[in-house]
Structure 1
């Protein structure tokens, strides 16, 4: 993961996670599925999030969600 991708994730958090998830917690799989319908104004965050999911899969290969 690059520094730019990390910074984009921080910016995403500042833009308000509640906008995407409300008060409901999601599994990793549910979050990945939502990337397919990401709003156009948030597309800049899609690649860093996909990289994050790939990194999580590499670090925790046996965890399902």
Structure 2
């Protein structure tokens, strides 16, 4: 293992509770996608599944920014 890579800063960062704007973006994406799927399908389970999927992708994207 290269010695220089041990102390290199991580490319990704975890969202902390103080990151209010990032959490707001993730929550809004979750809400809009869940409500949209629920309106289109009138089914709660697929709406929650899509919302959780969008939540995970949004956390990954925000962590890379």
TM-score of the aligned structures, taking structure 1 as reference length: 0.35
Larger radius of gyration: 2
Q: Which has the higher contact order (CA 8 A, sep 6+)?
A: 1
TM-score of the aligned structures, taking structure 2 as reference length: 0.35
